[in-house]
Amino acid sequence: MMARNPAAEPPRVGNTLAELRQLRGLSLDELSRLAGVSKSMLSQIERNQANPTVAVVWRLANALGVALGTLLDGDRPTPPAITTIAGHATPSLRSPDGKCELRILGPIELAGQFEWYELTVQPGGRLESEAHEPGSREHLSVLGDGALEVRSGTDVSRLAANETARYAVDVPHAIVNPGNASVRALLVVVHPG
């Protein structure tokens, strides 16, 4: 039986491509547009289910701003010193009433440990949450004008412009906008570790 010659196999660029795309904060759609390669082809390449042509690898390398050899050699990419996430690429969540929006500012790998959000609460909006794990705390800072009401268990506090509240969230809790103008805030959730 002949030994398999690894040099005879085509290079597998999938893992490197996926890591580079994620390091740059790009979705499959965004990289597809930048490189002119279909989203389905990108997905297959990242899962090592397709071997791209040299022309496709060249377009991907150019779109990612790396040398062609970086993708072909399968080298582990070095994370950039600074990673910038475009505003349109920042995911967000809305409350059931549609009056509260949480823009997810923290990286996904820290979820469940340390999370931070930009919170916008429309007049009358309520962001209600069930109890988190024991020892969890939130830090809410009102940015600019406006006021918010914070409820933690049975305790209630009004938070004015540029003030910060720190409170337990291992009980049911809520953030309410009792005013008649939209309020922006920074919300940080710290889970026990």
pLDDT of amino acid 62: 84
pLDDT of amino acid 78: 65
pLDDT of amino acid 69: 80
Question: In this structure, are residues 146 and 177 in contact, taking their beta carbons and an 8 Å threshold?
Answer: yes
pTM value surpassing 0.85: no
CA dist 176 → 119, 123, 182 (Å): 11, 9, 11
User: Please, which residues have CB within 8 angstroms of residue 177's CB and are 6 or more apart in sequence?
Assistant: 99, 121, 122, 123, 124, 125, 126, 146, 147, 148, 149, 183
For residue 74, pLDDT beyond 70 = no
Of 53, 67, 51, the closest CA to residue 14 belongs to: 51
Q: Which of 5-19, 48-62, 114-128, 157-171 has the lowest mean pLDDT?
A: 5-19
pLDDT of amino acid 119: 97
For residue 55, pLDDT beyond 70 = yes
pLDDT of amino acid 11: 65
For residue 88, pLDDT beyond 90 = no
For residue 34, pLDDT beyond 60 = yes
For residue 24, pLDDT beyond 90 = no
b/e for 29-58, b at 16 or more Cβ within 10 A?
Answer: ebbbebbebeeebbeebbeeebebeeebbe
